[in-house]
Amino acid sequence: MARLLCLLLLGGQLAVVAPAAEEPQPVALYESGLATLDIGRRQVPLGYSVSVFGPVFTLRSIVVQLGGELKLGPLYQSHELILGDTQFLFGPGSSAVTVGTEIYPLTQAPIPAEDGLKVPLDLLETIYGEKMGYEFQWDPAGRTLKVRRQPQRQVPVTIDLVHLQGITTVVLQFPYQPRYRIHRAANLIEVELIGDRLNPEMVKALPTDPLVRDVKLGQQEIRLVLAKDVEAEDYILQDPFRLVFDVYRKTPATSAPTLDPTPPTRSSGVRTIVIDPGHGGSDTGAIGLSGTQEKDLTLTLARALRARLMERMPVRVVLTRNEDAELPLETRTALANQQKADLFISLHLNSVQSPTANGAETYFSSLEASDEYAAQAAETENLVAAAGDDGDALYDLQLILWDLAQSQYLAQSQQFAKLVQDELNDALGLNNRGVKQAPFRVLIGASMPAVLVECGFLSNPEEEQALLDPAYRSQLINALVRAVMRYRAAVMGPRALADEALP
């Protein structure tokens, strides 16, 4: 966004603070002590404090009583609670909780204390409400936190089944997210509601299907009876809440596996790639001297890259946006997570004060910027996008998200970033600006190797003209395609690639 960019430029010395350096603001506590945790027949002591935002409770004591596995994340700041198949991430200084790939705000940030982290009521409700069916009630006069079962609900459900190109998709649609568990057995998937009952009025006849033999609706469970030798993948769609199962035939085992003692390092390889054209809508991104807008150029590049990647290799390529639309940064990575992408590429164009700066830069994400310049680049992209809606409440969260989602892909992100940078330097004879690390919000939270490519400088009039030339863009795209090919070869190994080439 031009306005913010100017602000940053005019600011000149605008402080760039890595989020890791931000200390959580101490919160004044009005009282602290021991309350009672009342779980029906059991009453146990529970540490509590009261801040201006309301009461907070010692999480560890509640986890002991209600279940779950609590652990400290790889970074000291983050806490992780695993309950069934759901991961909850939160930490002091962050007034938000991440549930899977979803982010929910909290009334206040958890507070570190001697007896462990103290957390607000709405975090407890998020953790133990949806999944376990518990509700919490705080009685300040009696200093008692009551835990009760939520009353049973009648949950309406709509079931749809579609078969398309060898895949049967079963969609269970609910007006809100029910509490449920998924059980899997041979040829059977059961979705069991926790505490609630299904509304039986919504049953309708489903078409006969080659992969899903039957869908049975019980009072509290939905059973998918599958054909032999099929696999099913489940995922969630929101608004309205849908639990989706993609059912497909298992690929037949390749011949003579006994002759090859080394198993493939990664079975999935690089099959789905998400390309993220930076900015969009009222967020124009950088603007060149002759008026080129970053958001338009990134979309042009992304579409061309998508087409060429699919020409060259058997991959599925998804764009985070395929029109001039505004899209929050968190949504972009959430989308990549939802698509189960194996690679995430965010495309941008650079802009700085000096009109002579030129070249491409490839970033992978980290909490610490590799140098002051990288920190400023990240700040510019983050600032521009934070002008949208949610901004600050979620900003703290990048620490935690990064901690958990991206850290395990750090080495692969770095490897891919280096390949991209090498290819861009070779193809375009660009000034080597190298691979850098910076806390880009768009990369944080991606559960896959992820890079951000600044394809050139719009603030450099010569480079702006070059980027407007289709032949130059084509070279740029080819360089990116080669980087992906080299990365795929490295990840999948030559044998897997050769198998793939067979009809």
Residue 328: strand, helix, or coil:
coil
Segment contacting Zn ion by CB under 5 A, of 65-73, 95-103, 285-293, 466-474: 285-293
Question: How near is the Cβ of 107 to Zn ion at its closest, in Å?
Answer: 33
Segment contacting Zn ion by CB under 5 A, of 80-88, 248-256, 307-315, 348-356: 348-356
Q: Which of 93, 120, 133, 278 binds Zn ion (CB under 5 A)?
A: 278
List the helix and strand counts (H, then E) for the chain. 11, 27
| Closest to Zn ion by CB, 361 or 381 | 381
Determine how many CB atoms are found less than 10 A away from the CB of residue 154: 10
| Closest to Zn ion by CB, 272 or 350 | 350
Q: Per-residue string for binding with Zn ion, 41-80, x by CB under 5 A?
A: ----------------------------------------
| Closest to Zn ion by CB, 348 or 488 | 348
Segment contacting Zn ion by CB under 5 A, of 85-93, 115-123, 208-216, 270-278: 270-278
Residue 86 — φ and ψ, nearest 5°? -110, 140
| Contacts of Zn ion in 355-384 (CB under 5 A) | 381
Question: How near is the Cβ of 304 to Zn ion at its closest, in Å?
Answer: 18
Q: Per-residue string for binding with Zn ion, 215-244, x by CB under 5 A?
A: ------------------------------
Question: How near is the Cβ of 452 to Zn ion at its closest, in Å?
Answer: 8
Question: How near is the Cβ of 347 to Zn ion at its closest, in Å?
Answer: 8
| Closest to Zn ion by CB, 122 or 276 | 276
Q: Per-residue string for binding with Zn ion, 129-148, x by CB under 5 A?
A: --------------------
Determine how many CB atoms are found less than 10 A away from the CB of residue 237: 12
| Closest to Zn ion by CB, 285 or 359 | 285
Alpha-carbon dihedral of residues 37, 43, 47, 53, nearest 10 degrees? Answer: 20
CA–CA dist 285, 280 (Å, integer): 8
CA–CA dist 120, 50 (Å, integer): 10
Question: How near is the Cβ of 286 to Zn ion at its closest, in Å?
Answer: 6
Determine how many CB atoms are found less than 10 A away from the CB of residue 206: 14
Question: How near is the Cβ of 497 to Zn ion at its closest, in Å?
Answer: 33
DSSP string, 195-245: S-EEEGGG-------SSEEEEEE-SSEEEEEEPTTEEEEEEEETTTEEEEE
CA–CA dist 101, 445 (Å, integer): 8
Q: Is there a contact between 96 and 74 (Cβ–Cβ < 8 Å)?
A: no
Residue closest to Zn ion, measured at CB:
348
Q: Respond yes or no on whether the N-terminal peptide bond of residue 240 is cis (omega within 30° of 0).
A: yes
| Closest to Zn ion by CB, 53 or 395 | 395
| Closest to Zn ion by CB, 54 or 281 | 281
| Closest to Zn ion by CB, 350 or 413 | 350
CA–CA dist 10, 25 (Å, integer): 29
Question: How near is the Cβ of 327 to Zn ion at its closest, in Å?
Answer: 13
| Closest to Zn ion by CB, 95 or 346 | 346
Question: How near is the Cβ of 348 to Zn ion at its closest, in Å?
Answer: 3
Question: How near is the Cβ of 278 to Zn ion at its closest, in Å?
Answer: 4
Size of the site for Zn ion (CB under 5 A): 4
| Contacts of Zn ion in 6-25 (CB under 5 A) | none
Q: Which of 79, 179, 332, 348 binds Zn ion (CB under 5 A)?
A: 348
Question: How near is the Cβ of 255 to Zn ion at its closest, in Å?
Answer: 48
* DSSP code for 166: T
DSSP string, 426-489: HHH------EEEE--TTTTT-SS-EEEEEEEETTSHHHHHHHTSHHHHHHHHHHHHHHHHHHHH
Contacts of 70 (CB under 8 A, 6+ apart): 59, 60, 63, 79, 80, 81
CA–CA dist 349, 365 (Å, integer): 17
Contacts of 446 (CB under 8 A, 6+ apart): 333, 336, 337, 344, 365, 405, 406, 409
Q: Binding of Zn ion at residue 456 (CB under 5 A)?
A: no
- With vertex at residue 137, the alpha carbon angle to CA 152 and CA 71, rounded to the nearest 5 degrees, is 90
Q: How many residues does the chain have?
A: 503
Segment contacting Zn ion by CB under 5 A, of 94-102, 149-157, 279-287, 413-421: 279-287
Q: Binding of Zn ion at residue 285 (CB under 5 A)?
A: yes
* DSSP code for 406: I
Question: How near is the Cβ of 402 to Zn ion at its closest, in Å?
Answer: 19
| Closest to Zn ion by CB, 19 or 278 | 278
CA–CA dist 192, 233 (Å, integer): 17
Question: How near is the Cβ of 9 to Zn ion at its closest, in Å?
Answer: 15
Q: Binding of Zn ion at residue 332 (CB under 5 A)?
A: no
Question: How near is the Cβ of 87 to Zn ion at its closest, in Å?
Answer: 30
Which residue type does 216 have?
K
Q: Summarize as ranges the residues that interact with Zn ion (CB under 5 A).
A: 278, 285, 348, 381
